[in-house]
């Protein structure tokens, strides 16, 4: 194995940091999406005549 084939620690560190940042951003976005739950108001329904 030559020096050109050995993976650098800097490249691995950047990959790990980018994965951690991506997972943290995903977690934050999922939490924010759950915080603003829209409440559904019941609709006023008019009785409808049905012939049987």
Averaged over 18-23, what is the pLDDT?
96
Reply yes or no on whether the pLDDT at 4 is more than 80.
no
- Determine the Cα–Cα distance for residues 51 and 1; give it in Å rounded to an integer: 87
- Determine the Cα–Cα distance for residues 45 and 29; give it in Å rounded to an integer: 36
pTM of the model: 0.51
Structure tokens at 19: 């994965």
pLDDT > 70: what percent of the chain? 75
Reply yes or no on whether the pLDDT at 6 is more than 70.
no
């Amino acid at each position: 194995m030559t020096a050109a084939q050995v993976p650098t620690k800097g490249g691995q560190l950047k990959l790990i940091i980018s994965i951690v940042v991506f997972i943290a951003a995903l977690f934050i976005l999922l939490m924010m999406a759950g915080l603003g739950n829209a409440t559904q108001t019941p609709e006023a329904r008019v009785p409808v005549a049905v012939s049987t």
